[in-house]
Amino acid sequence: MNCIFEARKSEFHFMHDISQYQDFFIEYLKKQDIHKEPTNLYEPIEYILGLGGKRMRPVLTLMAAEVFDTEYKVALPAAMAVEVFHNFSLVHDDIMDDAPLRRGQVTVHEKWNLNTGILSGDTMLILAYQYFEQYEPEVFRDLAKLFSKTALEVCEGQQWDVDFETRKDVTIPEYLKMIEYKTAVLVAAAMKMGAIVAKTSEKEANLIYDFGLNLGLAFQLQDDYLDAFGDPETFGKQVGGDIIENKKTYLYLKALEFSTPEKASELQKLFTLQLEDNTEKIETAKAIFNESGASKATQEAIEMYTFKAFETLEKLDINAEKKNILRTFGENLMGRKV
């Protein structure tokens, strides 16, 4: 085992800023030897991992390790596992959604083909697990156990997401459970992995998980909001994609709840259509979201989950400076416009 991962907490108490964690992770990512044979299996993996993004999840793993007085370097393999898994899920999500763009670039299945997207995605899931092998048995066990639970939940969330497209009776609690599994649990697990690597107490590890879970829920609700109202130049995905796909998002469900029977019926009918040109469909849906108050309600829900995350922060047995760093991260995440 590489001796660096034997390094544990000593007199390590300071933390880096977000951009530094991003730089540390990207530097580590670039050192990974992913370019192997057969080229058509590994090249798409290099491609999707190289598309950028904010690297939010691996940054959270590095940050959580340092929150609990362990140098970020110890958490790099776990952070890499999180990023590889996240990108695996994106490759397969894009296939299921028939999405043309990811982070403003062509999706893997469009650039190569469906079979390559499926197989390269499968390979990424296995590669993610391999990064845990760099830890001693007890840490490996705890990381793998959390990872397996999280991976299953992500798949369950994805299936609910698909099921909801054809259901007319989706409730808001069901929708919130779906986004918790599809998105929030991975944000939460990313943070808990940093805590596991740092060998902190189970209580602290669970609290940082809850912080990540609420932040992840706020993040996904904001993603839903930006899917309809984001700037096409900066969003990186097709704006209005959820409307085109007839997805029963929080915006949609709140609009049904708040609208007159006539408007609700119009929206439901709109969300049965499969059109060549979706321009008018998107604009009509957005108008109903705004007029009904669903847009405002969604923004309020984003705020509520962000505050719930911050309340959890107060229970953590860490100093005020570290709480402020985590709070600032949450505020910046919720302040994004893309």
**Do 177 and 241 belong to one domain?**
no
More confident of the two residues 83 and 101: 83
* pLDDT tens profile 140-166: 999 999 999 999 999 999 999 889 888
Q: Is residue 229 part of a domain?
A: yes
**Which of the four pLDDT bands, split at 50, 70 and 90, describes residue 4?**
very low
Domain count of the fold of the chain: 2
* pLDDT tens profile 42-80: 999 999 999 988 899 999 999 999 999 999 999 999 999
Q: Is residue 193 part of a domain?
A: no
**Which of the four pLDDT bands, split at 50, 70 and 90, describes residue 237?**
low
**Do 119 and 166 belong to one domain?**
yes
Q: Is residue 192 part of a domain?
A: no
Ranges 129-133, 220-224, 270-274, 329-333: which has the least confidence = 329-333
Percent of the chain with pLDDT over 70: 94
pLDDT of residue 34: 87
Considering 183, 210, 228, which residue would you say is the last residue of a domain? 183
pLDDT of residue 11: 42
The reply to whether the predicted model has a pTM over 0.75 is yes
Q: Is residue 195 part of a domain?
A: no
**Do 23 and 113 belong to one domain?**
yes
Q: Is residue 11 part of a domain?
A: no
Is 3's pLDDT higher than 50?
no
Q: Is residue 55 part of a domain?
A: yes
**Do 176 and 205 belong to one domain?**
no
Mean pLDDT of 253-277: 95
**Do 221 and 119 belong to one domain?**
no
Q: Is residue 170 part of a domain?
A: yes
**Do 117 and 154 belong to one domain?**
yes
Phi, psi of 90 (to 5 degrees): -65, -40
CATH number of residue 262's parent domain: 1.10.600.10
**Which of the four pLDDT bands, split at 50, 70 and 90, describes residue 13?**
low
Is 338's pLDDT higher than 60?
no
pLDDT of residue 236: 62
**Do 285 and 320 belong to one domain?**
yes
**Do 296 and 244 belong to one domain?**
yes
Q: Is residue 300 part of a domain?
A: yes
**Do 299 and 210 belong to one domain?**
yes
Considering 183, 213, 229, which residue would you say is the last residue of a domain? 183
**Do 31 and 153 belong to one domain?**
yes
The residue range of the domain holding 295 is: 201-337
* pLDDT tens profile 281-330: 999 999 999 999 999 999 999 999 999 999 999 999 999 999 998 998 88
**Do 141 and 279 belong to one domain?**
no
**Do 169 and 220 belong to one domain?**
no
Q: How high does pLDDT run on average in the chain?
A: 91
